[in-house]
Structures are given as C-alpha cells and as structure tokens.
Amino acid sequence: MVTSNHVHLLVQDWEGRDVITNSRAGRSGQQYNQRKRRKGAYWEDRYHATAMEGGQHLRQCLGYIAYHKEETYNMTDAEKNAEIVRRGYAAFNSADMKTLTEVFDENASWHTPGQSPIAGAARGREAVFTQFGRYGGDTEGTFKAILKEVLWSDSGRVVGIHHNTATRNGKQLDTWCCIVFEFKNGRIIEGREHFYDLYNWDAFWS
C-alpha cells in the first residue's frame, strides 16, 4: 500500500527468489529521481525491513497497515496519464477495443512519420483505430508493440518507449519507437510516433 510519504510492502519469502526484481526497482528509482530531482539508489536511506512470523505478529502488522489506509497517496495528473498509457498499450496488444475507446478522445489524432504507405496523420478516434487495424491486419496479427518504459513530465505529457516486431510478405520489422502522448480531460488527444530506425519501418511497409 502506498501512503502520502511511504510504502507498506508485505511480502512472502518464495524460497530465496527476488521479491522485487532488479529491473522493476531500477525503473521505479529512475522515475522517482526524475520527479524529485535527486540521485542515488531508490532504497538509499529509505528502506527498513522487518522479518515476521505468522499468527499474532502478522495480525498486528495487517492491523497497522489497515489503520494507515486513510493516508493513501494521491496520484498527480501526470502519473494518472502514465497509467492511461500503460492501459492503452495493453489494450492495443490484446485488441481490446472497449479499453481503447475509453482512453482515446473522440477527436484524437495519430501521426506516423516516414514515406511508407501508412505514413501521415489520422484524425478522429475512428481514423486512429483504422490505422491501428492496418498495423495488425497487414501483418496477419504479428504486429506487437512491447512496452519497455513510460516517462512523464509535470506538463502531463507522457512518452511511451516500446519495441516493435512484426512479419509481412517475408519482411521482418525490428525497431524501437517512442510515442509522445498529449492528453485532454484524462484521455489521449494526440499520439506522435518517433522511430529509432525509420528506414527499417519504411522498408517494412513499402
């Protein structure tokens, strides 16, 4: 549970396996340092752990956490936008149109760079979804955008960094991309794709 100034994390020992993976801790630390303009490890001077047994000790711990539940941390608008982007990526990769409709404004636009047949601007939510449909349809469902990191700023703008893979007519897509998302009233109003290897992207769709 996250409160206004600290986190209660109750975990069970799973035969020596890491409870918090290094990659997750690294991403959390990087995002926290960016927000707070600080340096150092995420847990530096911040971590306290107590081993406990079951029974009464565990019940007391659960009671303490429940008592402090009212201190729940309120997310900023930028953090809420970042969660919307994560939902959007998951919905895109699973073809969850209901969720995509919830996260995209009806007047949203989508901008794809390059010289390929799918380059250009799609304006309006239905046009954006038609563009998404081409990504999946023209690749027989092999197109994936695997989210790697989400960054955000105090302005509310969010950047999603992902890895694209797909196959089409004997061609292989394998490139990284970042999308800059703009928001309006808690929904995505604009997305702009920026490819690390635009040549690979254009060649794949041409």
DSSP string, 61-126: HHHHHHHGGGGBPPPPHHHHHHHHHHHHHHHHHTT-HHHHHHHEEEEEEEEE-SSSTT-EEEESHH
Tokens of 25: 């801790």
Residue-level pLDDT, tens digit, the chain, 206 residues: 445 456 666 666 655 555 555 555 566 667 766 766 666 665 555 555 666 666 666 666 666 666 555 555 577 888 899 999 999 999 999 999 999 999 999 999 999 999 999 999 999 999 999 999 999 999 999 999 999 999 998 888 999 999 999 999 999 999 999 999 999 999 999 999 999 999 999 999 99
Q: What is the pLDDT of residue 2?
A: 47
Nearest to 75 by CA among 84, 62, 65, 66: 84
Q: How far apart are CA 126 and CA 110, in angstroms?
A: 11
* Contact criterion met (CB below 8 Å) for 164 and 193: no
Instruction: State how far the Cα of 106 lies from the Cα of 97, in Å rounded to an integer.
Output: 13
Q: What's the CA gap between 142 and 171, in Å, rounded?
A: 12
Strands 187-195 and 104-112: parallel
How many residues are recorded in the chain? Answer: 206
Domains of the chain with CATH codes:
1-74 (no CATH), 77-205 (3.10.450.50)
Q: What separation, in Å, do the N-terminal and C-terminal C-alpha atoms of the chain show? A: 49
**Side-chain half-sphere exposure of 134, counting CA atoms within 13 A:** 12
How confident is the model over 34-91, as pLDDT tens digits? 766 666 665 555 555 666 666 666 666 666 666 555 555 577 888 899 999 999 999 9
pTM over 0.85: no
Which helix or strand (DSSP H or E) is residue 19 part of? none
